Amino acid sequence: DITQVRTTQFHDGSTDDIFALTHDPLPDMQEGDVRIRMDTISLDPAMRGWTTNVKSYMPPVQPGDIMRCFGVAEVLESNSKYFQAGDWVTGFLGVQTHGILNQRELRKIDLTYGEPKDFLSGLGMTGYTAYFGMTDIGKPKKGDTVVVSAASGAVGSVASQIAKLAGAYVVGIAGGPEKCAFLKGTLKLDGVIDYKNEDIYEALKRECPKGIDVYFDNVGGQTLEAAISLANYQSQIVICGAISQYGDFSAIQGPANFLKVISSSLKIQGFTMKDYFHLIPEALKYLIAAKQEGKIVFREHMLEGIENFGEAMKMVYAGKNHGKLLLKVAK
């Protein structure tokens, strides 16, 4: 059964119930097109932004369009000289069980290095984001104090481990005892903060006695403000995401202590993967090696059934995911 998930309206901050299932037949294949069977879909915090009618780094998904998503898929049929039936591909494949995509939209994946799902998790955009944000912008040195928010999540858990591998003293922030136990027990972080059960500023002061040299921010809001308060002279703040602010894009809350950026000569830099597409092979090489050497753990949270897409998306904003949230298309 061919199924698509389409948006019914723009996200306007009032509801996440903006998706409907359709069962439209696939269009005819043109020269350069490939027919795919979707295997696994990636659920990303950016999805709210993609469905909001604001100018951003990508055009918004228009109401009625198939929802944008990263996915991994098997090629069933090809009119492209670059792909053949049996190949596995990734890219913005759309939330659908099957699709016709142009060769330009696809990148081949090599399953000798991992399972299909790994190419949406640690060996995919998640891993690349953590890698470039931490190594190219954060640049932690041995002995630096590095703080990561949403540290048990998809990007945060990989970023934390990369900082540990660089020899830094790493403090992770996450919501709830289970996520904090994972940070301490499995990722072996040096300090852990449960922001849902303790005052974030006091806890950061306790866990970072030498102040903060690198802050890798995934959440923005009050956590960013507390980290700025404890940031050392000329320290680096990496703005990867601001999920606490994704509820209402018309009223983003900035840090009230912003002037400390001047008085402590802080460096704040944001980024998207657009800046790094040409360097993906470098990230992949690092992540494959770290995985094969057992130096890095990719935590995934796998759901099933394309009809559950809308509910799955809500889980990310409710913090109900434990690691990279993925949706296996067929049950």
Interacting residue ranges for ligand NDP, rule: CB under 6 A: 44-46, 126, 129, 150, 152-156, 174-176, 179, 218-219, 240-244, 271-273, 316-317, 319, 321, 324
Of 4 and 121, the one with the shorter C-beta distance to ligand NDP is: 121
Cα separation, 319 vs 139, in Å, equals: 28
Of 148 and 212, the one with the shorter C-beta distance to ligand NDP is: 148
* Cβ 238 to ligand NDP shortest distance, Å: 9
* Cβ 138 to ligand NDP shortest distance, Å: 13
* Cβ 280 to ligand NDP shortest distance, Å: 12
* Cβ 246 to ligand NDP shortest distance, Å: 7
* Cβ 12 to ligand NDP shortest distance, Å: 18
Pairing of strands 212-217, 191-194: unpaired
Are the beta carbons of 310 and 17 closer than 8 angstroms?
A: yes
Of 38 and 158, the one with the shorter C-beta distance to ligand NDP is: 158
Q: What is the 3-state secondary structure (H, E, C) of the chain?
A: CCCEEEECCCCCCCCCCCEEEECCCCCCCCCCEEEEEEEEEECCCHHHHHCCCCCCCCCCCCCCCECCCEEEEEEEEECCCCCCCCCEEEEECCCECEEEEEHHHCEECCCCCCCHHHHCCCCCHHHHHHHHHHHHHHCCCCCCEEEECCCCCHHHHHHHHHHHHCCCEEEEEECCHHHHHHHHHCCCCCEEEECCCCCHHHHHHHHCCCCEEEEEECCCHHHHHHHHHCEEEEEEEEECCCHHHCCCCCCCCCCCCCCHHHHCCCEEEECCHHHHHHHHHHHHHHHHHHHHCCCCCCCEEEEECHHHHHHHHHHHHCCCCCCEEEEECCC
Of 34 and 95, the one with the shorter C-beta distance to ligand NDP is: 95
Of 235 and 244, the one with the shorter C-beta distance to ligand NDP is: 244
Of 174 and 313, the one with the shorter C-beta distance to ligand NDP is: 174
Q: What is the four-CA torsion angle of 68, 69, 73, 79, rounded to 10 degrees?
A: 30
Pairing of strands 33-42, 70-78: antiparallel
Q: Which residues contact 329 (CB under 8 A, 6 or more apart)?
A: 38, 39, 40, 41, 97, 305, 306
Of 88 and 216, the one with the shorter C-beta distance to ligand NDP is: 216
Of 150 and 306, the one with the shorter C-beta distance to ligand NDP is: 150
* Cβ 318 to ligand NDP shortest distance, Å: 7
* Cβ 269 to ligand NDP shortest distance, Å: 11
Of 3 and 229, the one with the shorter C-beta distance to ligand NDP is: 229
* Cβ 104 to ligand NDP shortest distance, Å: 21
* Cβ 130 to ligand NDP shortest distance, Å: 8
